[in-house]
Structure 1
Amino acid sequence: MASQELVWATTVLLILYGAAILYFVIRGALRTTSISDYAVGSIRFSPVVVGLSLAASITSAATFIINPGFIALYGFSGLLAFAIVMPLGIFFSLAILTKSFRKHGASVQALTMAQWIGKRYGSNGYALFFGFLSLLLITFIVLICVGMTKVMAKALNADELYILIGLAAFVFGYMMFGGANSMVYTNTIQAILMLIVAFILLGSGYEHFSQGVHGFIDKLAAIDPYLVKAVNPNSFLFRDYFEIVFCNLVVGVAIVCQPHIITKSLLLKEERDVNRYLATGILVEAIFFSVVLAGLYARLRFPDLTADGQPLKMDGIIPAYVVTEFPVFVGLIVIMGLLSAGLSTLEGLIQSVSTTITSDIIGHLAGPRLGEGERRTRRLIAINKVVIVFLAVVSIWLSYGQLAHPSLSVGIFAQNGVYAYFSAAFVPVLLGIYFRDVPKAAPVAASATAVLVHFGTYYGRLSWYMQAEVRNPAIAATYAILASLVVGVSLYYLLRKRRQAGPAAQGPVEAHDEVPAAKAAPGPQQYTQHTATLSDGIEIGYMACGEGPRTLLFLHGLASNYKGWVKLATALSGHYRCIAMDFPGYATSGKGDYPISMAFFAKKAIELAEHLELEKPILVGHSMGGQVALTAVLQRPGFFEKLVLIAPAGFETFNHTGHQWLRNLYSPALIKATSVEQTRSNFEANFFQFPSDAEFMIDDRLDMRRNVKAFDYFCQLIPRCVAAMLDEPVFSRLPQAKLPTLILFGQNDLLIPNKMLNPTLTTRLVGEIGAGQIEGSQLTMLSNCGHFAQWECADAVAGAIREFVG
């Protein structure tokens, strides 16, 4: 039992800690709404910091609380598996795959694994499958709840059920009303705190080495000779080298192929930072994994696995060791570290699983019945709260079952669920990140194979390994991963060969100096294509149509061109003269080593207007073109009559972390490595419902890919444009844009806001905040409309512009 001093000290600590959490949750809920309120943090990510974050992402409280219990029971065989072999698999996978991912990774933005899978392979059904599969992560929630309950119950000498209910009510409660709170540290701070706890636990058994390492081994052998052997035939998990080495190596490699782990490298600014990042992450992670050594210290402390005359369950060994081994002050530090690491892990799991259930399952199945736009968002938020309550009840029920009647350890229960989950995800993520033009059947078949093999092996007790009372989930996961790998890769090459052997197969593409003629946009071709040579010799391609007393000058978005305006310009051509230009470097305009910037594009737009002798034109900008339009208005006040912004960039802002993430995401190598499937998915993300008459946009991009020189120039141009948008913010200068302004957003815009960097923002909120900075501006939200509103909802946009312009 814990001493009375530790009980009181822990009670005070928990009250203060809980009060601090509630303070930050309430403070966050009451903050004034602004873009900066929703930033993801302002830590400057050096390679060392990102490495620490990586280590914390891979490690959970289970590493400190649950896993050492296996070592206490089974000795060196468990140490070999959990502290050496599995880490080696993880480190090998990190070292081999990280640099490859930075060059060839998929640029898929998603909040959950289900969304990642769905976007990568363009399949809502596949996303729904992974949404249901994500429910397996509840087993990990149970593991964390059990581990934290064990620690607090031992420290407070309290009943585990009451502690469990109180813990779940508190954590799930504030997650329901406040989200992830500011008191629970970032991954970097967690890693530092976990390092302190790791060194305390590792150093706690120094007295056992008073007679050297051999003396330490002799003490363990005196308790049980199998504790000091590399193989323990009396265990359920470490009976031979296949279980200890091969299975844990496979699991270790598979763990890394998860987006939240492998994408950490995108936060690095320079390629030369990768080695420092890996060195830091691997070194710190090695220390974390070595904490299981404390299980041997605990076994020496409790040789007969009893404490105060009561038998210890495996999951209670380390909590009992902590409260009996350390003085009050040191014990509080260890308890604080274990709870903080556990709480942060639990928060992330609650947020991830509840988001998956709400968005990927309920939102998908309910479809339009939940409404559109803000109405749908409000309903999903309300549903999410109910989902969190449901998760709390289920977690308490399952956790109490593991506290009262564990199958050796809650670790077995959690491994069965989590290993099945990433066994199913391993091949789809591997193919999605490192392979191009993947036939969808390959990852789907691989996932189905993994699920069937894993649970078939575990519950069907296939192979002699699964005949014992306690079954090893690593065996089932190994079979599942290997089987899914064979199925997925075989189908990939088989279907690719069939596709290449088909009549539509094309031979090798030759490089040409000239850009191939672009396909014409569909619809009425009432425009003419022109070229204007500006004063500095730069040629600007543009199209013109219509007649009228007023002229509309259209500016396109990132990676687009003037053809994206044809549909809207045609609808407006009966009322206005319509001119749409290509920015320098884009499509029909000249190519060269231009000083790409928002100011440069704005200057060329003004020069074109002057060259064409346009009087008081009305400027219309979409996405990046919206930010260019704002820059042009600020450059030449009074030059334009009115301003129309369609889903403009520049309203949504990002901190340093977001800037760096976006820069790395839009690197030339990543753009060049984008698969055909991902190219299509990227275009489709611009629309609420992809219209068939927009197919030419995808065809144009795929045609460009076949022209080596043109595509290489494009891959260099886009990152420079992204950097320019980030380096030349306009948000703080919006009040200076003193002219009538119409702002249009699609209610179903998937690109603004960026859900990875500003997950709590909505499109309407971004629009309202931006409109609030421009005096006299009008904001219109278009229903059933995505980011490319001028094409998808051309008639509605045309009507709004006619009403605004007059």
Structure 2
Amino acid sequence: MISAEVFKYVLTGTYVILVYGLSWVGMRRTKDISGFAIGNKDMSPYLIGITLAASIASTATFVINPGFVYVHGLSAYLHYGVAGSAGILTAFLVLSRGFLRLGEESKALTIPQWIYNRYHHRGFSLFFAFINLLSISFVVLILVGCSLLMTGIFPIDQKPALLVVLVFVFSYVLMGGTYAHAYTNTLQGIMMIIVTLLLFVQGFHYFDGDILGSLRNISPGYGAALNPDSNLYYDFFSVFGGGFIVTFALMLQPHILTKVLYLRSEADIGKFIGTTVVVGTLFTLILMVGFYARLAGLEIESQDTVVREYLLHEFSGSPLGQLTLTFIFITLLAAGMSTLDGILVSLSAMVVNDIVTPLSKGKTKGLAWSRWTLIAVGIIGLLLAWNPPPLIGLFAQKGVYGLAAASLVPMLFGVLVRKPLPLPLIASASLIALFSHYYFNLFGGVANPAVSASYAIIGSCAYTLAGLALIHFIQRKK
């Protein structure tokens, strides 16, 4: 049998060659900023669906969120796995058709450009372009998560691992843009499906035939849908309401909702959504690793390292286990890269299309600028990830959930309401959501960013509905 050490480097080398090969194909098909940002609308809806599912189920799902399940129990699993999945499905059913229709009419490449074409105000689209830079917080999460995984399989410290991950992902995205992202994500998505099923089956014996009973043996709260001992998932709203609302809003992130613009036509939407939901729901089974690590009796000091420590505990004891461990670690690295490359493509396209080009009055070369922007984002992400905060998952949620809260009213009402909308009302609702989220989370005693963002979203929606009703009432009175 091939040694685990040799297999590790052969598999890693094969994966790197495949990714660069697919990126080279992508580069040959990328001729301009439009092709870099959304492709040439010649990709299969099934491929796009797998790409999106892999983008959503990133390092957060595969590496960081099982740590929340390890600490908080069933309530955390229901928050991410059930409420979150329902939010994803609902968002795509509600928004995909209208977003694609309006995007096709306006030839939008990014969400800020879509905002500009919907509301016809450059300042508002610039505001959206700048707040979308909050996505960098998720770049930091992925870089940290991937570096933690690399330290588990290679003899390397975390900081050099950060540099390796950064250089690898940025180099292949620089080459091929959207095509590199889509082709490599399909490969990575298939690997992620295999590992999800493998780990789900491998650790199921820890339940000893009684899932709820096993969890309640740890503590009554750990096995409860609402955990009174948790500061994050303690009541119906923090488990289900916040999980559903914020995940619905998260589908408005540029690297997610813009996948709809890859589609050829509305006829592909059903295939696209079906593929995304089936594959994405399967990926949530990886959260079970948090339960398995707890039931295995592992005492893990750092929540962010739960997956790494569990895998080392389970698979390091035999030659076959070490071979399996190598494949799993490479796949989990791929899971992180599959989201990171999507964020990078959307961020770079957005900065060029919605900040640099408008401010320079079109006197820039878009494709070149998009690649320089990637380098700048990489440097900023590296600086933030160099000495990461504790609980990197909550750090990323603070940033990305703020973006989600601010995006919901302009996007949701922009898609569902066909007639012109009053910009002052929509813009002020977006600002209310953004600042409310940070007030509740940083100063209002709401520890769970999903809850603070959901409060902000509900408040901004109520404000918008009241404003529209008042405008309608005034117009009727005239």
TM-score (norm 2): 0.85
Alpha-carbon separation, structure 2, partners of 1:179 and 1:265: 15
One-letter amino acid matched to 2:111: M
Q: 1:282-304: per-residue Cα shift (whole Å, max 9, x none)?
A: 33322222321121012223432
Alignment of 1:75-154 (within 5 A): 75-95=73-93, 107-154=105-152
Counterparts in 2 of 1:266 and 1:154: CA distance versus 1, 3 Å:
closer
* Aligned CA distance change for structure 1 residues 7 and 109 (closer, same or farther; 3 Å): farther
* Number of the residue aligned with 1:336: 330
The answer (yes or no) to whether the contact 1:137–1:349 under 8 Å persists in 2 is yes
1:180, CA displacement in angstroms?
5.3
Instruction: Point out which structure has higher relative CO (alpha carbons under 8 A, 6+ apart).
Output: 2
Q: 1:264 aligns with which of 260, 267, 271?
A: 260
Q: Cα distance 1:289–1:21, how it changes in 2: closer, same or farther (>3 A)?
A: closer
Cα contact 1:98–1:265 (8 A) shared by 2: no
Q: Give the unaligned 5+ runs of structure 2.
A: 316-320
Cα deviation for residue 52 of structure 1 reads 4.0
Letter in 1 for 2:304: D
Name the counterpart of 2:349: 355
Partner of 2:414: 432
Residues in 1 aligned to 2:115 and 2:334: alpha-carbon distance in whole angstroms = 31
Q: 1:97 to 1:417 in 2, by over 3 A?
A: same
Per-residue CA distance 1:683-736 (angstroms, 9 max, x = gap) = xxxxxxxxxxxxxxxxxxxxxxxxxxxxxxxxxxxxxxxxxxxxxxxxxxxxxx
Check conservation: 1:21, 1:184, Cα contact below 8 A. no
Is the CA contact (8 Å cut-off) linking 1:81 and 1:248 kept in structure 2?
yes
| 1:473 CA displacement | 0.7
* In 2: Cα distance, 1:359 partner to 1:98 partner: 22
CA contact (8 A) 1:420 1:454 kept: yes
- 1:321 aligns with one of 303, 310, 320: 310
Question: Structure 1 residues 103 and 493, CA, compared in 2 at 3 Å: closer, same or farther?
Answer: farther
Q: Matches of 1:268 and 1:93 in 2, distance apart?
A: 20
Match of 1:166 among 156, 164, 167: 164
Alignment match, 1:414 = 396
SS in 1 for 2:387: helix
Compute the RMSD of aligned alpha carbons.
3.4
1:450 is matched by which residue type in structure 2?
A
Deviation at 1:444, TM superposition (A): 0.8
From 44, 69, 88, the equivalent of 1:71 is 69
Deviations 1:576-631 (A, max 9, x none): xxxxxxxxxxxxxxxxxxxxxxxxxxxxxxxxxxxxxxxxxxxxxxxxxxxxxxxx
2:438 partner letter: F
Contact persistence 2:22–2:183 (CA under 8 A)? no
Q: What is the alpha-carbon distance in structure 1 between the residues aligned to residue 161 and residue 112 of structure 2?
A: 33
Partner of 2:117, secondary structure, is: helix
Taking a change above 3 Å as real, the CA distance of residues 391 and 202 of structure 1, as seen in their structure-2 partners, is same
Greater alpha carbon shift after TM alignment, 195-204 vs 164-173? 164-173
Residues 167 and 252 of structure 1: CA distance in aligned 2, closer, same or farther (over 3 Å): closer
Does 2:377 align with 1:391? yes
Cα distance in 2 for partners of 1:237, 1:185 equals 37
Offset at 1:417? 0.7
Contact persistence 1:256–1:262 (CA under 8 A): no
State the Cα distance separating 1:70 from its structure 2 match.
Answer: 0.5
Q: CA deviation at 1:117?
A: 1.0
Contact 2:216 2:222 in 1 (8 A): yes
User: Which residue number corresponds to residue 460 of structure 2?
Assistant: 484
Alignment length (residue pairs): 466
Instruction: Report if the CA contact (8 A) 1:7-1:155 is conserved.
Output: no
Residues 372-410 of structure 1 show CA distances to partners (whole Å, capped at 9, x for unaligned) of: xxxx21xx55544443332222211211222xx41xx21
Distance 1:190 1:126, change over 3 A: same
The AA in structure 1 aligned to 2:244 is: L
Match of 2:386 in 1: 400
Q: Which residue of 2 aligns with 1:10?
A: 8
Instruction: Identify, as 1 or 2, the structure richer in helix.
Output: 2
- Pair 161,111 (structure 1): closer, same or farther in 2 beyond 3 Å: same
Query: Which residue does the alignment assign to 1:289?
Result: 284
Where does the alignment leave 5 or more consecutive residues of structure 1 unmatched? Answer: 306-310, 503-806
Structure 1 stretch displaced more, 358-367 or 339-348: 358-367
C-alpha distance after superposition, 1:737-791 (max 9, x if no partner): xxxxxxxxxxxxxxxxxxxxxxxxxxxxxxxxxxxxxxxxxxxxxxxxxxxxxxx
Aligned residue in 2 for 1:661: none
User: Aligned AA for 2:284?
Assistant: F
Amino acid at match of 1:295: G
- CA change 1:114–1:332 in 2 (3 A) is same
1:212 maps to 209
CA contact (8 A) 1:20 1:183 kept: no
Kindly indicate whether residue 469 of structure 2 is the aligned counterpart of residue 493 of structure 1. Answer: yes
Q: Distance in 1 between matches of 2:182 and 2:188?
A: 8
Shift of the alpha carbon at 1:187?
4.9
Measure how far apart 1:24 and its partner are. 5.0
Query: Residues 59-81 of structure 1: CA distance to partner in whole angstroms, max 9, x if unpaired?
Result: 32321111111001111111121
Give the equivalent residue in structure 1 for 2:318. none
Residues 651-666 of structure 1 correspond to what in structure 2 (within 5 A)?
none
CA drift of 1:202 comes to: 1.0
Alignment partner of 1:226: what SS? Answer: coil
Paired with 1:219 and 1:165, the residues of 2 have a C-alpha distance of 41
CA contact (8 A) 1:56 1:191 kept: yes
Rate the CA distance shift 1:265–1:319 in 2: closer, same or farther, 3 A: same
What amino acid sits opposite 1:415 in the alignment?
Q
Q: Residues 174-194 of structure 1: CA distance to partner in whole angstroms, max 9, x if unpaired?
A: 444554564863555544332
Contact 1:131–1:356 (8 Å) recurs in 2: yes
Change (3 A) 1:352 1:262: closer
Equivalent in the alignment of 2:196:
198
Q: In structure 1, how many angstroms separate the alpha carbons of the residues matched to 2:130 and 2:426?
A: 17
Equivalent position SS for 1:228: coil
Report the Cα offset of residue 413 of structure 1: 0.8
Hey, what's the Cα distance between the residues in 2 that align with 1:325 and 1:105?
48
Rg larger for: 1
**Alignment partners' CA distance in 2, 1:106 and 1:256:** 19
Contact 2:97–2:266 (8 Å) recurs in 1 = no
Output one character per residue of 1:170-226: Cα deviation in whole Å (capped at 9) or x when no partner: 3224444554564863555544332222111211213224x411xx55554444443
Cα distance, 1:491 vs structure 2: 2.4
